[in-house]
């Protein structure tokens, strides 16, 4: 269906300066281009859904709804040339859409919902009761693959490949499970950050109302690595047993480390690499024994990494080892390499800004797409739609496009593009259940309030 | 509370004959307070809170904190009449609410210290008293049923063993955000948003509630203060309240007695051996520039007074330096008065007592100023150089810099003291004059033990 219609309608269309009858160039390089960005905002960015999400049910005509809610949310725009506009706020969906289309920001960040409209913050005293402060904010997480640079050898910095991306998968599994099973959260959105990591938005009411101290507690529950830039980020595990959360995570870590990571990263085939591991073992006699064994470059049937890891485990966990510290070393090594590394500051503070989903990453041109954590193993960053690829679908979409009011036109477009899957997932698996729950919360809260005031009136 | 004149004594209705328990300060009591006690009790309680603050910033562990709190209460919060102990406790708490409700920073500090005080007082109580207190709080959390316990027993035991402690048999089910400290340290089992809090951990639940209640009370108190009390009491309680939050409560060093006087001759040598970095730095700067701006003059001048420099010697010192820059006449006209003023006896006000570390650290030196805490304000290279000059190097230097990076300036100074003197300083440095007198103590005892 796609190709035929494209063929038929090509003659009549003018796209971005391409003249009538001219064959459009489908080989547009994957890149970031502010004209394409403008088209993206014009045709693809899901304003209606973003507005519905950020309203958390307050955009309806129920007496329990807070009409000021959306207007108290901070947005920030980063424009071309790094011009930064903070404390942007909008009272209606149309205002948000208009501003974004006009400014064409290279990056859109979402901040907290404040006590008053951020635009009016300077009219409020900084002390006393009427203070300008954040009152609601999603619980958010930011995981960046460059935080693993000391333990991955295939890439560094902004690069990511199929050998190291699975580190993200491990992080997603461990954190997502903890958020749902341990903390009881349900409305969780995982988003590709566009280049080298993922973001997580926890949107339950309870999560949005957490204060900084409570966020810090959650982050500390999940956090393991100590150490800084100067010392190797080694994990130290204490206690006779694992806390159930750690035990559960240990299984994920172990499976990934033993079955994929040691192989993908060739952890034991290179002397520099295995020295790093040997440094983590507190027993000299063991490390020298292993070193000795590994000088021998004998070929074996099985992968050298698997063999050597097996030898290391055997020595550390043998019955002869009395010290718990030595036995624990095996887990410590696995955790050091593959346990999730969070950016703590992002999660701890209510006023921290985070990039909005469905933005385009300026360095890669990729869309920051939401994805299903249950299938995170299948997520491939290299197949995420890019701006130019999305635009090349314009050909068939322009026909169907007309200047419809916000919402109805967009819906049809996105479903048929390469963004379709993410968009559908966002709407049906995340947004719908969230809004249903918000509706219930608002109605219940309102009913309770009415009940309370009618109780107090009756003498 | 009613504040009354001196004659009448305050009393508490004799209902509480039971074993002394901790008041939870739910509402202002029906008590009468003498005006002197109003301030006195508050100062005593403030010493307890500041003692707690010190101990925490020195990294005292929880089991050590229990003893710290016990000692502090014994020293400061007792009363010759046993029946008055509870009154003093309650009155001092409510007075400090007035003092510390007035600004966000003050509220945060007060909340943090009172909560810590409550936590350790609770832990010091007997089992029966703890149960009675819990009932007073009337928490809405239930103990899990036997069936629930059997289901979760495995996991609950795992958590206990992961902390190398033994399992409990009574568990409360509470939303996880009510025990953030337990969650942060993974010392509690959580499932679907609920934490299963062991009987032995219940203090965490109580602390959360105590904190939340006090936090709200402080906001209300602040409203009442600004709308009504401050104006109403402007001739009586308000000046006391406003002075209390900025006061330093250790020995004020305004009357140096221990080491007699020091003379101008000795000052250079003493500066090298016994001055803390902040004062060394100012001392070196005045030698270099023959001038110090007002902040520096106050900080160094009062310190020297505390160290035992007599007024005449002080005048001679400042004059000899300043006249090299501004001339003797201008010194006499513009600067001598200030120095004499510092030595005047101005009643109990603390403005003319040597500055404590707290005060110095919180000062904000501007361009051309050299006062303030050098651990806070000096750039890293300059700080390293200054410490090297004091003889602090290698490992010790790195330890100091580590404390600085983490903003523990007093700990950095303590480590410096320890490195310079080769001796430990357990109480930590809270006052430059304390650094000086501790230093002299060590040096004198070394001189004495050398014999001859």
Q: Where are the domains of chain A?
A: 28-221+342-447, 230-338
Residues 6+ apart with CB under 8 A from B99: B42, B106, B241, B244, B245
> Of B164, B156, B170, B154, whose CA–CA distance to B205 is shortest?
B170
A257-277 average pLDDT score: 89
Residues 6+ apart with CB under 8 A from A210: A139, A218, B177
A217 contacts B177? CB cut-off 8 A: yes
Among A5-19, A56-70, A281-295, B212-226, where is mean pLDDT lowest? A5-19
A181 pLDDT band (50/70/90 cuts)? very high
From A142, A147, A331, A332, the catalytic residue: A142
Closest chain B residue by Cα to residue A212: B180
Q: What is the CA radius of gyration of chain A?
A: 26
Reading the block at residue B36, the tokens are 């002197």
Residues 172-201 of A with CB under 8 A from B: 181-185
Q: What is the pLDDT of residue A135?
A: 95
What is the average pLDDT score of chain B?
84
Q: What is the pLDDT of residue A24?
A: 39
A244 contacts B223? CB cut-off 8 A: no
B164 → closest Cβ in A128, A129, A239:
A239
A221 contacts B191? CB cut-off 8 A: no
A218 → closest Cβ in B163, B183, B226:
B183
Residue A210 with chain B: CB contacts under 8 Å = 177
Half-sphere CA count of B402, side-chain side, radius 13 A: 9
pLDDT tens, residue by residue, B168-210: 889 999 999 999 999 999 999 999 999 999 998 999 999 999 9
Closest chain A residue by Cα to residue B164: A239
Closest chain B residue by Cα to residue A131: B104
Question: pTM (2 decimals)?
Answer: 0.73
Locate the DSSP E strands across A345-435.
354-355, 370-371
**8 Å CB contact between A334 and A254:** yes
> Cα separation of A417 and B230, whole Å?
66
DSSP assignments along B316-354, one per residue:
HHHHHHHHHHH-HHHIIIIIHHHHHHHHS--TT-GGGSP
Proportion of chain B above pLDDT 70, given as a percent: 88
Measure CA of the first residue to CA of the last residue in chain B; give whole Å: 64
Reading the block at residue A306, the tokens are 């698997």
What is each CA distance from B106 to B96, B97, B98, B109, in whole angstroms?
10, 10, 11, 5
Q: What is the pLDDT of residue B251?
A: 53
- CB proximity A239 to B under 8 Å: yes
What's the topology of domain A28-221+342-447?
Answer: DNA primase, PRIM domain (3.90.920)
- CB proximity B406 to A under 8 Å: no
B206-229 average pLDDT score: 92
B114 pLDDT band (50/70/90 cuts)? very high
A217 → closest Cβ in B104, B158, B180:
B180
Note if A144 is an active site residue.
Answer: yes
A459 pLDDT band (50/70/90 cuts)? low
A244 contacts B155? CB cut-off 8 A: yes
B186 contacts A245? CB cut-off 8 A: yes
pLDDT tens, residue by residue, B325-383: 888 888 888 888 788 878 774 333 334 678 889 889 988 888 788 999 999 998 888 89
Distance of CA B415 to the CA centre of its chain: 19
What is each CA distance from A292 to A285, A295, A296, A308, in whole angstroms?
11, 5, 7, 12
B184 → closest Cβ in A128, A216, A239:
A216
**8 Å CB contact between A58 and A124:** no
- How far away is chain B from the Cα of A180, in angstroms, using its nearest Cα? 7
Q: What is the pLDDT of residue A388?
A: 67
Among A76-90, A354-368, A375-389, B272-286, where is mean pLDDT lowest? A375-389
B162 → closest Cβ in A129, A218, A239:
A239
**8 Å CB contact between B301 and B314:** yes
pLDDT for residue A414 is more than 80:
no
Residue A237 with chain B: CB contacts under 8 Å = none
| Of residues A295 and B451, more confidently modeled | A295
Note if A59 is an active site residue.
Answer: no
> Cα separation of A17 and A14, whole Å?
7
Residue B183 with chain A: CB contacts under 8 Å = 217-218, 220-221
A188 pLDDT band (50/70/90 cuts)? very high
Closest chain A residue by Cα to residue B104: A127
Neighbouring C-beta atoms of residue A342, cutoff 10 Å: 21
B186 → closest Cβ in A185, A210, A221:
A221
Residue B181 with chain A: CB contacts under 8 Å = 217
- CB proximity B226 to A under 8 Å: yes
pLDDT for residue B26 is more than 70:
yes
Closest chain A residue by Cα to residue B190: A182
A90-97 average pLDDT score: 95
Q: What is the pLDDT of residue A129?
A: 58
Q: Pairing state of beta strands B2-4 and B32-34?
A: parallel
Residue of A187, A239, A328 to mutate, interface with B, max B Cβ within 10 Å = A239
Residue B193 with chain A: CB contacts under 8 Å = 183-185, 206
CB–CB contacts below 8 A, A to B: 68
B281 pLDDT band (50/70/90 cuts)? very high
pLDDT for residue A70 is more than 60:
yes
What is each CA distance from A223 to A218, A339, B176, in whole angstroms?
9, 9, 17
Residue B158 with chain A: CB contacts under 8 Å = 241-244, 247
- CB proximity A247 to B under 8 Å: yes
Question: What is the greatest pairwise CA distance in chain B?
Answer: 90
Residues 152-171 of B with CB under 8 A from A: 155, 158-159, 161-164
Q: What is the pLDDT of residue A3?
A: 38
User: Using CA of residue A340, residue A343, residue A348, residue A349, what is the dihedral sign?
Assistant: negative
Q: What is the pLDDT of residue B347?
A: 38
Residue whose structure tokens are 């110095």: B360
Residue of A182, A187, A188, A224 to mutate, interface with B, max B Cβ within 10 Å = A182
Closest chain A residue by Cα to residue B155: A244
pLDDT tens, residue by residue, A305-326: 888 999 899 888 876 666 667 7
What is the average pLDDT score of chain A?
83
Residue of B102, B183, B204 to mutate, interface with A, max A Cβ within 10 Å = B183
> Cα separation of B71 and B61, whole Å?
15
pLDDT tens, residue by residue, A353-393: 999 999 999 888 889 999 999 999 999 998 888 876 665 55
- CB proximity A206 to B under 8 Å: yes
- CB proximity B194 to A under 8 Å: yes
DSSP assignments along B120-135, one per residue:
HHHHHS-HHHHHHHHH
A171-182 average pLDDT score: 98
Distance of CA A13 to the CA centre of its chain: 38
Q: What is the pLDDT of residue A247?
A: 94
- How far away is chain B from the Cα of A380, in angstroms, using its nearest Cα? 31
**8 Å CB contact between A337 and A330:** no
pLDDT for residue B249 is more than 60:
no
Q: What does the angle CA B43 – CA B49 – CA B50 come to, to the nearest 5 degrees?
A: 85
Q: What is the pLDDT of residue A9?
A: 37
A214 → closest Cβ in B161, B180, B190:
B180
Half-sphere CA count of A312, side-chain side, radius 13 A: 29
A127 contacts B186? CB cut-off 8 A: no
> Of A57, A65, A130, A116, whose CA–CA distance to A87 is shortest?
A116
A243 → closest Cβ in B159, B180, B226:
B159
B176 → closest Cβ in A128, A183, A216:
A183
Q: What is the pLDDT of residue B254?
A: 54
Residues 6+ apart with CB under 8 A from A295: none
Query: What is this model's ipTM?
Result: 0.85
Residues 22-81 of A with CB under 8 A from B: none
Residue of B115, B174, B193, B230 to mutate, interface with A, max A Cβ within 10 Å = B193
> Of A362, A358, A366, whose CA–CA distance to A410 is shortest?
A358
- How far away is chain B from the Cα of A239, in angstroms, using its nearest Cα? 4
Q: What is the CA radius of gyration of chain B?
A: 26
From A138, A144, A147, A176, the catalytic residue: A144
Q: What is the pLDDT of residue A219?
A: 96
B11 pLDDT band (50/70/90 cuts)? very low
Note if A142 is an active site residue.
Answer: yes
Closest chain B residue by Cα to residue A126: B104
Reading the block at residue B416, the tokens are 């410096």
């Amino acid at each position: 269906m796609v190709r035929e219609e494209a063929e038929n309608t090509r003659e009549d269309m003018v796209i971005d300066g391409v003249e009538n009858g001219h064959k459009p160039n489908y080989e547009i390089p994957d890149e970031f281009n502010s004209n394409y960005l403008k088209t993206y905002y014009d045709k693809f960015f899901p304003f209606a859904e973003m507005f519905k999400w950020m309203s958390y049910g307050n955009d309806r005509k129920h007496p329990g709804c807070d009409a000021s809610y959306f207007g108290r949310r901070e947005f920030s725009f980063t424009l071309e040339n790094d011009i930064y506009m903070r404390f942007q706020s909008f009272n209606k969906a149309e205002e948000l859409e208009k501003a974004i289309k006009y400014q064409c920001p290279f990056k859109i960040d979402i901040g907290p919902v404040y006590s008053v409209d951020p635009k009016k913050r300077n009219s409020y005293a900084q002390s006393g009761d009427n203070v300008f402060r954040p009152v609601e904010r999603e619980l958010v997480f930011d995981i960046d693959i460059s935080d693993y640079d000391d333990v991955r050898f295939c890439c560094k910095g902004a690069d990511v490949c199929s050998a190291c991306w699975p580190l993200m998968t491990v992080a997603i599994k461990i954190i997502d499970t903890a958020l749902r099973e341990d903390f009881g959260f349900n409305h969780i959105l995982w988003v590709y950050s566009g280049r080298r990591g993922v973001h997580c938005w926890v949107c339950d009411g309870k999560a949005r109302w957490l204060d900084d101290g409570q966020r810090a507690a959650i982050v500390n529950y999940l956090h393991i690595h100590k150490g800084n830039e100067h010392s190797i980020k080694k994990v130290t595990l204490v206690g006779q047993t694992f806390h159930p959360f750690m035990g559960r995570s240990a299984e994920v870590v172990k499976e990934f480390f033993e079955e994929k990571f040691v192989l993908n990263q060739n952890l034991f085939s290179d002397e520099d690499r295995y020295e790093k591991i040997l440094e983590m073992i507190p027993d000299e006699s063991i490390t020298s024994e292993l070193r000795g064994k590994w000088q021998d470059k004998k070929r074996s049937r099985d992968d050298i990494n698997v063999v050597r890891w097996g030898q290391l485990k055997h020595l550390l966990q043998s019955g002869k080892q009395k010290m718990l510290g030595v036995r624990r070393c095996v887990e410590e090594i696995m955790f050091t390499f593959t346990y999730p590394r969070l950016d703590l500051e992002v999660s701890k503070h209510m006023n921290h800004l985070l990039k909005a989903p469905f933005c385009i990453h300026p360095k890669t041109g990729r869309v920051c797409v939401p994805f299903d954590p249950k299938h995170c193993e299948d997520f491939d960053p290299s197949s995420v739609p890019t701006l130019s690829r999305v635009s090349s679908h314009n050909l068939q979409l322009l026909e169907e496009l007309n200047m419809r009011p916000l919402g109805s036109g967009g819906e049809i477009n996105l479903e048929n593009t390469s963004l379709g899957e993410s968009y559908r997932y966002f709407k049906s698996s995340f947004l719908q259940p969230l809004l249903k729950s918000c509706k219930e919360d608002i109605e219940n809260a309102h009913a309770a309030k009415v009940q309370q005031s009618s109780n107090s009136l009756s003498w | 509370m009613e504040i009354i004149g001196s004659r009448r004594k305050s009393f508490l209705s004799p209902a509480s004959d039971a074993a002394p328990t901790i008041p939870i300060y739910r509402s202002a009591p029906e008590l009468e307070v003498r005006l002197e006690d109003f301030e006195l009790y508050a100062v005593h309680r403030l010493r307890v809170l500041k003692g707690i603050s010190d101990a925490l910033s020195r990294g005292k562990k929880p089991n050590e904190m229990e003893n710290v709190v016990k000692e502090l209460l014994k020293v400061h919060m007792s009363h010759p009449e046993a029946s008055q102990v509870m009154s003093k406790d309650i009155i001092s708490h409510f007075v400090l609410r007035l003092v510390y409700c007035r600004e966000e920073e003050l509220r945060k500090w007060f909340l943090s210290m009172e909560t810590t005080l409550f936590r350790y007082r609770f832990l010091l109580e007997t089992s029966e008293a703890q149960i009675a207190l819990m009932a007073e709080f009337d928490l809405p959390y239930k103990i899990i049923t036997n069936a629930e316990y059997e289901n979760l027993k495995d996991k609950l035991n795992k958590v206990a063993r992961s902390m190398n402690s033994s399992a409990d048999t009574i568990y409360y089910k509470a939303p996880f955000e009510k025990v953030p400290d337990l969650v942060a340290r993974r010392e509690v089992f959580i499932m679907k948003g609920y934490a299963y809090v062991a009987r032995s951990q219940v203090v965490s639940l109580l602390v959360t509630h105590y904190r939340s209640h006090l936090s709200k009370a402080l906001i209300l108190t602040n409203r009442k203060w600004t709308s009504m009390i401050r104006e109403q009491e402007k001739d009586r309680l308000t000046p006391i309240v406003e002075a209390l939050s900025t006061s330093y409560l250790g020995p004020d060093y305004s009357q140096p007695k221990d080491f007699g006087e020091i003379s101008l001759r000795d000052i250079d040598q003493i500066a090298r051996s016994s001055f803390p970095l902040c004062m060394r730095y100012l001392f070196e700067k005045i030698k270099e520039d023959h001038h110090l701006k007002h902040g520096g003059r106050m900080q160094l001048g009062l310190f020297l007074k505390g160290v035992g420099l007599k007024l005449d010697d002080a005048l001679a010192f400042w004059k000899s330096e300043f006249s090299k820059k501004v001339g003797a006449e201008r010194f006499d006209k513009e600067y001598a008065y200030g120095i004499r003023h510092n030595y005047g006896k101005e009643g109990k006000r603390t403005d003319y007592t040597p500055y404590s570390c707290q005060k110095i650290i919180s000062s904000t030196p501007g361009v051309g100023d050299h006062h303030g805490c050098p651990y806070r304000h000096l750039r890293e290279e300059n700080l390293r150089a200054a410490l090297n000059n004091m003889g602090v190097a290698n490992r010790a230097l790195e330890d100091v810099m580590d404390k600085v990076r983490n903003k523990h300036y007093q700990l950095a100074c303590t480590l410096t003291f320890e490195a310079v003197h080769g001796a430990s300083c357990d109480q930590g440095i809270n006052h430059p004059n304390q650094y000086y007198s501790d230093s002299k103590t060590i040096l004198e005892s070394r001189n004495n033990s050398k014999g001859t």
